[in-house]
Structure 1
Amino acid sequence: MSFFKELFVAYFFGTSRDLDLLLYALTFTSTMYFIINGAMSSTVVPNFLKFKNKDESQKNNYLASVYSIFLGISLLLCTSLYFFHVELIHLIAPGFTPDELLDISSFMKYFIVYLFLSFLGSLFQIILNANKRFFVSGLLMSITPFFIILMILIFNKLGVISIAFGIVSGAFIQYIIAFIVIRAEFNLNLINLEDLRSKYGDIFHNFSILFFGGLFIGLIDLTDQSFASLAGDGGISSLNYGNKIPALFDGLFVTVLGTVLFSTFSENIAKRRNNANKVLFVKTIKMVLVFGVIFSLILVMISKDLISIVFERGAFNQESVLKVYPIQSALFLRLPFSAMAIISARMMNSYELNKAMLMINIISFFLNAALDFILIKKFGVVGIAFATLLTYIWSASLNYIVVIRHFKSKSI
């Protein structure tokens, strides 16, 4: 559904500057969402699985405590972002005029509401994934893209603001449905202040490390968008469209595989099946690299045709195709290394190797920024895509080395 949403966006808005502004505002808030969501998932899932086969009240009390903590974090973060987002945008967005920065700020106010709803809704989906309710979780994720399509069809004459209407209304409905599902599934009392103090230290310690690790990875996308803004009109939207089909494969295969394996890795650790984890990890990485490289090369060969078939209609013309397809080709090459990085990161999360991952993410952020700066001068927005590819190769390789060394240190 998310991919079909992009077809409507391309048809009605092409690679316009207005879409650039909205996408930058959305990237700013989405970056915060993915940082928090990744930290929540890596904190909650391993602990949730420890309670899975224990007393039901223990599991429910743990989840209620987690919800209370992340409700507070979400309120604090979104309130701070509302009051200080203008200063932040001015600080990190060098490629926009004062009037464009005002437009970005206006879009941000919609997306901060979306951010708060998404934080809480994503916690429910994390719990469903940990309990292997993947189908229900997948259905919930299709709600917001559906509402974006609906709002574009109804309000497209108002411009790109119709996308913001869809994002906020979809996030609200998605949260309400997720809330109802979780209440029915676990019969939870979602606010539990009695156990909060005893759970707070351990949860917040792990969360803080994962948050800062995710912060540097999340800032890579925001840095890419900031450099793309320097390329003139259509720079950000071209980068956005170039990532859509690669992101589709990421979502269909890489993210799903990582989510399923994370639950399996954590469950094996809880049952002390470390050797099973090592065997599964090594075999999965080999399979992903072999088939991933072959698949990505095939996609590169048909990249231009894919862009033309999928997006070339309405405001998205032949000129747009020529701008976008080289970006897409570079990002297709990223796919096997993206899978390797995510699977290795999930194993690191399961064994709580979070400090090592934090250091890798910090270095990856600065490496990507340096590569953006160097390559955009020679290759334009395509250089940003190649910078992303090289950063993923670096990050995936280091994640894999850390995991293998961990297994060797345990003499598994």
Structure 2
Amino acid sequence: MGRQGTTQRRGSGASGGLHASVFSGAVRVALGTGLVFGAGFLKEIQVAASFGLSAGLDLYLLVLAVVVLGSGLLSGAFQISFVPAWSEAAARGEERQSLLSAAVTMALTAGGAFWITVVAALPAVLPLLSSSMAQSGAGETRQLAFILGALLVISPVNGLAHGVLQSERRFFLSSLLPACSHLAAFTALYLAGKEATVSLLALAVVAGLALETAALATLLARRGLRLLPGRFSGARERRLLSHASRLAVASVFMSLTILVDRGMAAVLGEGSVAALSYGDRVPNLFRGLGSVALATAVLPFYSEQAAVQDWQGARRILNRFSLLALAAGVPITIISVVFSREIIQLLFMRGEFGASDAALVASVQAAYLFQVPFNLAAAVSMRLLAALGRTGTIARATATALALNVAGNLVLMQFFGVVGIAWSTSIVNLFIFVATQVLARRVLAEEHPAGPGSADAAAHMDEPPAGLGD
């Protein structure tokens, strides 16, 4: 009896230490991400001072929006799929430099293909979207696409390096390094003064990202790792590529949700798209800090538990941090909804932005805020599915969410206008939360019933985690 009680106390202590580590990691990610947001705001102030509302800045922002969308898809997909593979290789005692080098090769290849596509397509596509873009000329568009397109190649490689750092619990440093790009752009524009151009801004952004790459390569070199391409071969590399592809598809569906909302809002009349954009600023800040922090912190721990088949530990993290996300998100949502109009008035009500505009945007913001706690908790369950290799499940869930979002927009916008579109998005996020929570628990309960240290788990220690074959 005494030995059993001692074992239980040790297990409880280990679990408590693990939860403290995850929470500490989330706090460090949130702090680093907040500082990056601050650096980005500093850059935006200088951009506004250098270019105002010029046509050249419009062109730059349009090209950047396309590039950032693509680089974000690639970087996120490779990083999220790489961390579980990295942890699996560590648990099995395999050499990991070859895995990193193969992943770098895949990232460079995918990014290069996107880069060529962007340079070739944007000069023809942008004039179709805006008549003012046609006046800019294909040459200037192609030049910006060529410069900024480098982000498509650099960002996925950086994502892999960040995955290594996060696996070693270097959360704050990893989340802080993206500030390099913002600070480089601010410095270049400040020094250039009145001679600043959008091409200089684009070059500075790329140079800042390359500086981040150099810092990451230095940090990896201290660990005996090289951030260089290598041979692509073997089942684990093919599995990594498969999971990255599925996660990229899932990200596309999530990104299309935003585009669909903006497109459907456009038919509701002047100012509807702007109302959606303004109304999502504060909710997006909460989602950006909270979801990124939780998702980044839990993934390495989930990956290590999947590698050693510690399903009970994974279940404890899922339960504890899903509840923590809801417990933190609900009060934030309630308070923000109560003071929604005051928040909008403080942030935007000046000049042409009047009281009626504030009332509409406040209603949009309140509807968007409803999704915050569910978005935070869904980040916890989606990372568990990713760590278990259930990337196909994530892609199907996001595809379903996109279809539900379109249907919800069509119905709710008839009754509530642009506010209905915001409510549809929040309801879809509730669906994603419920779906991913149910699916994650079903995987743990049905496919991985064995607890840590059991005979069944020990018998499969030499096999890759079952979920990685999905």
Higher relative contact order, structure no. (Cα contacts within 8 Å, ≥ 6 residues apart): 1
Q: Is the 8 A contact 2:378 2:437 kept in 1?
A: yes
1:49 and 2:87 are equivalent in the alignment: yes
Partner-residue secondary structure (3-state), 1:58: coil
Partner of 1:394: 431
How far apart, CA to CA, are the structure 2 residues paired with 1:327 and 1:190? 47
Partner of 1:168: 206
- Of the candidates 289, 301, 305, which is equivalent to residue 268 of structure 1? 305
Q: Report 1:104-253 matches (<5 A).
A: 106=141, 108-150=145-187, 164=202, 167-188=205-226, 190-193=228-231, 196=233, 199-227=236-264, 239-253=276-290
Partner of 1:340: 377
Partner of 1:369: 406
Partner of 2:323: 286
Q: 1:400 to 1:270 in 2, by over 3 A?
A: same
Q: Is the 8 A contact 1:246 1:335 kept in 2?
A: yes
Q: CA deviation at 1:291?
A: 3.0
Q: CA deviation at 1:98?
A: 2.8
Q: Is the 8 A contact 1:28 1:222 kept in 2?
A: no
Q: 1:126 to 1:380 in 2, by over 3 A?
A: farther
Partner of 2:70: 32
Q: 1:329 to 1:100 in 2, by over 3 A?
A: farther
Q: 1:299 to 1:144 in 2, by over 3 A?
A: farther
Q: CA deviation at 1:16?
A: 6.5
Partner of 1:258: 295
How far apart, CA to CA, are the structure 2 residues paired with 1:307 and 1:3? 20
How far apart, CA to CA, are the structure 2 residues paired with 1:403 and 1:304? 38
1:3 and 2:37 are equivalent in the alignment: yes
Task: Return the letter of the residue paired with 1:3.
Answer: F
Task: Return the letter of the residue paired with 2:240.
Answer: I
How far apart, CA to CA, are the structure 1 residues paired with 2:326 and 2:364? 21
Q: Deviations over 1:41-68 (max 9, x none)?
A: 232111101223565x811111111111
Partner of 2:19: none
Q: Is the 8 A contact 1:69 1:200 kept in 2?
A: no
Q: 1:166 to 1:324 in 2, by over 3 A?
A: farther
Q: CA deviation at 1:347?
A: 0.8
Partner-residue secondary structure (3-state), 1:285: helix
1:353 and 2:390 are equivalent in the alignment: yes
Q: Deviations over 1:210-247 (max 9, x none)?
A: 22222212222333344456667766565444433333
Gap regions ≥5 residues in structure 1: none
Partner of 2:9: none
Q: Is the 8 A contact 1:15 1:237 kept in 2?
A: no
How far apart, CA to CA, are the structure 2 residues paired with 1:304 and 1:400? 33
Q: Is the 8 A contact 2:178 2:209 kept in 1?
A: no
After alignment, is 60-69 or 209-218 more displaced?
Answer: 209-218
Give TM-score, length-normalised by structure 2: 0.73
Q: Is the 8 A contact 1:113 1:168 kept in 2?
A: yes
Q: Is the 8 A contact 2:36 2:176 kept in 1?
A: no
Partner-residue secondary structure (3-state), 1:185: coil
Q: 1:101 to 1:187 in 2, by over 3 A?
A: same
Partner-residue secondary structure (3-state), 1:190: coil
Q: CA deviation at 1:363?
A: 1.2
After alignment, is 57-66 or 102-111 more displaced?
Answer: 102-111
Q: Is the 8 A contact 2:287 2:372 kept in 1?
A: yes
After alignment, is 46-55 or 129-138 more displaced?
Answer: 46-55
Higher radius of gyration, 1 or 2: 2
Q: 1:184 to 1:36 in 2, by over 3 A?
A: same
1:61 and 2:98 are equivalent in the alignment: yes
Q: Is the 8 A contact 2:185 2:205 kept in 1?
A: yes
- Of the candidates 131, 136, 148, which is equivalent to residue 98 of structure 1? 131
Q: Is the 8 A contact 2:333 2:370 kept in 1?
A: yes
Task: Return the letter of the residue paired with 2:342.
Answer: D
Q: CA deviation at 1:134?
A: 0.8
Q: CA deviation at 1:162?
A: 7.8
Q: CA deviation at 1:184?
A: 3.1
How far apart, CA to CA, are the structure 2 residues paired with 1:17 and 1:327? 29
Please tell me the root mean square deviation across aligned C-alpha atoms, in Å.
3.7
Q: Deviations over 1:49-100 (max 9, x none)?
A: 1223565x8111111111111111111122122212356657xx8xx43334
Q: Report 1:314-329 matches (<5 A).
A: 324-329=361-366
**Identity across matched positions, percent:** 20
Q: Is the 8 A contact 1:31 1:222 kept in 2?
A: no
Partner-residue secondary structure (3-state), 1:187: coil
Q: Is the 8 A contact 2:91 2:308 kept in 1?
A: no
Q: CA deviation at 1:295?
A: 1.6
Aligned residues: 405
Gap regions ≥5 residues in structure 2: 1-34, 451-470
Partner-residue secondary structure (3-state), 2:228: coil
How far apart, CA to CA, are the structure 2 residues paired with 1:325 and 1:65? 49
Q: CA deviation at 1:268?
A: 1.1
How far apart, CA to CA, are the structure 1 residues paired with 2:390 and 2:150? 33
Q: 1:218 to 1:88 in 2, by over 3 A?
A: farther
Q: CA deviation at 1:191?
A: 2.0
Q: Is the 8 A contact 1:16 1:237 kept in 2?
A: no
How far apart, CA to CA, are the structure 2 residues paired with 1:325 and 1:218? 24
Task: Return the letter of the residue paired with 2:338.
Answer: M
Q: Is the 8 A contact 2:254 2:398 kept in 1?
A: yes
How far apart, CA to CA, are the structure 1 residues paired with 2:85 and 2:240? 9
Q: Is the 8 A contact 1:31 1:221 kept in 2?
A: no
